[in-house]
A and B are shown apart, each in its own frame.
Chain A
């Protein structure tokens, strides 16, 4: 369920994000992207990195968006905050989205603001009916102000709360069903969270309505040992793990092909490494399509 493209200020619709592999737009790669225009189906930018009034970053993004569909991924809406979504932040995002006209926007099923303090991390929610009402209210308000559908991403988690009584995937599905928002399914997060919290990754993905999933993310994670326990840390600092590629193949079976992003934003590798990672996702997407066409032909 990709949101309908909205007209640009010039009245020309932005191209939609295709069900192909994209990469995260990182500052060290901007010049090379501008100079060489490598082949990649789409780019995803972190909204909060482009909120400044002006300067080189936003000027470069203006240039890049002419050649690539841009998806904006924000981390600061704090859709799970009991105190609601900050109207000032919504206004800043609205201004940015009017300027760049992204083909898709997303944020997370998490919170990062409490008492007006921004904690700069995607903190988990207790999955309760109170939290469900709050998230739905915040998502609805966001969609109203921005005038478009948002995709909400499943978080990576290292803890759960005693008060939680709704499985996360069902909670996320309920948010999508009640607000009309889409889901950004982060395959690495499913893997990391179900490992850290003893969940079942396949059951998680089967609990979602495939129609509501508008995008997928793939990223690397770190393996840490804390007090004799193996903990997976979602640090986006390495190549996608083999187990996550396998889970992605299963996600294609369960949900279908979707625009798929390679996220690698700490210890950022050279651009060719990132593009090679994207081509691995691309290969799985096209292989999936071919086997399907084959099936239908028979």
Chain B
């Protein structure tokens, strides 16, 4: 049966037992079946390692080519692609790296999260950023009732490591100067302005504000949460910063009565 043959090849190619696959391959005068299967195994792994290296260039730089190849191959064996859309393949690599445990680079899983967020941002749906004129027309007393929709390309990432500095350093193939990173928390907005993926450092308050709006809170409630995370939180400046990076696409004004109830 064709389905059995294909299952045997799949098992053999992914590096498990290939006895059944070898038995199915014609054995003539030329190259032996295992060497023929090995050509395909190389194609499968080489192409998928390449896909992961393209999505995670700085993780690959940190690990070095050989170690990245080893980690990527282990990842491919344990989580092969489930769909032929490779721009969506590899999102589980950060968790996979975290599960591998402590490495010489404790920031590595977070760096991978940043790269995946950049990847998702790059391929996300297009949408026109919020028309600031419309926002300006909302009467000031009603602005706390605004619910703002985040742009589909926006991602928010918090980390204990100075990821943006590490990323910039490593993308150039550069060294370890920044690896120690600034201590303390870092809050990153990943967004697409025009067609460019951008990374912006936010204050704890601005990050909480964006996160609250993403979760569907009104501007008033999200701002309150932001004040709790950053006592000196300044709503207008934070909102302006988010708006300048195409963070939102639209808004609705929620019903005041509903706000009282909730």
Task: List chain A positions with a Cβ less than 8 A from chain B.
Answer: 48-49, 51-57, 59, 75-78, 80-83, 86, 88-89, 92, 111-121, 123, 125-126, 128, 130-131, 134, 158-164, 196, 198, 226-227, 229, 231, 233
Q: List the B residue with the shortest CB-CB distance to A77.
A: B84
A196 contacts across to B, CB distance below 8 A: 30
Find out whether the CB atom of B123 lies under 8 angstroms from the CB atom of A229. no
Assess the A54–B3 pair: CB atoms within 8 A. no
Please tell me if the beta carbons of B195 and A53 are within 8 angstroms of each other in the complex.
no
**Residue contact B26 to A229, C-beta cutoff 8 Å:** no
Q: Report which of A115, A120, A164, A226 forms a contact with B86, defined as CB distance below 8 A.
A: A120
Neighbouring B residues of A88 by C-beta, 8 Å = 83
Whether B31 pairs with A226 at a CB distance below 8 angstroms is: yes
Scoring B6, B13, B37, B39 by chain A CB atoms within 10 A of each residue's CB, the highest score goes to B6
| Contact present for A120 and B47 (CB under 8 Å) | yes
Add 5 more A-B contacts to A53-B124, A118-B80, A120-B81 (CB < 8 A): A86-B84, A115-B7, A118-B83, A120-B86, A233-B39
Does B192 lie within 8 Å of A55, measured CB to CB? yes
| CB–CB A59/B126 < 8 A | yes
Most chain A beta carbons < 10 A, residue from B3, B24, B83: B83
Q: Quick one: which of A113, A123, A161, A226 contacts B84, CB cutoff 8 A?
A: A113
Most buried by A among B3, B5, B14: B5
A134-B2, A161-B5, A226-B35 known; A56 and B195 CB under 8 Å? yes
- The CA-CA distance from A89 to B88 in the complex, in Å, is 13
- Report chain A residues within 8 Å CB of B30: 196, 198, 229
Residue pairs across A and B with Cβ atoms less than 8 A apart, 29 shown, are: A48-B84, A49-B87, A52-B85, A52-B123, A52-B124, A53-B152, A54-B124, A54-B127, A55-B153, A76-B83, A82-B1, A82-B3, A82-B6, A89-B83, A113-B84, A114-B9, A117-B10, A119-B10, A120-B44, A120-B51, A120-B84, A121-B43, A121-B44, A134-B2, A158-B39, A159-B40, A160-B26, A161-B24, A229-B30
Query: How far apart are A239's CB and chain B's nearest CB, in angstroms?
Result: 21
Give every chain A residue within 8 A of B5 (Cβ-Cβ).
126, 161, 163
Contact in complex: A114, B81 (CB < 8 Å): no
Hey, which chain B residues are within 8 Å of A115, CB to CB? 7, 10
The interface on chain B, measured as residues whose beta carbon lies within 8 A of the other chain's beta carbons, has a size of 49
Q: Judge if B36 is at the interface, Cβ distance under 8 Å.
A: yes
Our pick among A75, A92, A126, A229 for the contact of B2 (Cβ within 8 Å) is A126
Q: Does B25 contact A (CB under 8 A)?
A: yes
Q: With A82-B1, A82-B3, A117-B81 given, is the CB distance from A160 to B25 under 8 Å?
A: yes
Q: How far is the CB of A136 from chain B (nearest CB, A)?
A: 13
The answer to whether A82 and B195 have CB atoms under 8 Å apart is no
B161 to chain A, nearest CB (A): 27
A55/B123 in contact, CB under 8 A: yes
